[in-house]
Structure 1
Amino acid sequence: MKKRIVAAALALAMALGAGAVVGCSGQPQKEDVNADVPPGAPPLMPPGHEGRFEQLGANGCYGCHGANDLANPMLTGSTALPEDHYEDGSSSTQELNPTHDQCITCHSQG
């Protein structure tokens, strides 16, 4: 009897875990706002980013898209900032070029 309870609990835990992995985001897939952006043009911010720049400024963008010790675009699934957005044209400086700190100038809301 005890083995059946343990087996049932284990099966339930595995089923719930698989469901969590399959549906990680919990939200339906959104339309790609950059589908019609011409090659070489700055990408648009996705709808889920509405008001984010106004609230957080460039540091909010840098937190997910920048190269620093706390944020890594590869881990968050975010697009990394291009090298020309950094001081001296290199992400190794981990400092934004001041000419690129008004993100919404080029990256408007999609």
Structure 2
Amino acid sequence: MKPNHLLRALALLLPVAASLMLTGCKIEDIPGLGPDPRTLAREAEAKAVGGGCRHAMRGLEDCYALNPKASKALVFAGWKDMDEYMRSNKMEGVPSVLGQAVPEKRSEEAEGTSSRNRS
């Protein structure tokens, strides 16, 4: 073969060889072609927020109000998944104590400090 024919043959075989090597790969496996990791993390966090809200026996509207930056669809998906899980395993929710015990504790601490300062 002459040098020109060799270059042409390599130019034709290179794309074929590359495509054969990549046929078994998923798009996510090829660096730079998969979804953004930050997006995946935000989606996972929104689903976890929904699951946590369901476990804390919070309604969806309360969950949306407490987490305005989270995607409502993903929060709902997490809430629904947790609801299904809790029903299938006969689990009870744990009531949220957010905002209930904290103010009482602070007022007791404030009274304790003010009575100490007086003596």
Structure 2-normalised TM-score?
Answer: 0.30
Structure 1-normalised TM-score?
Answer: 0.32
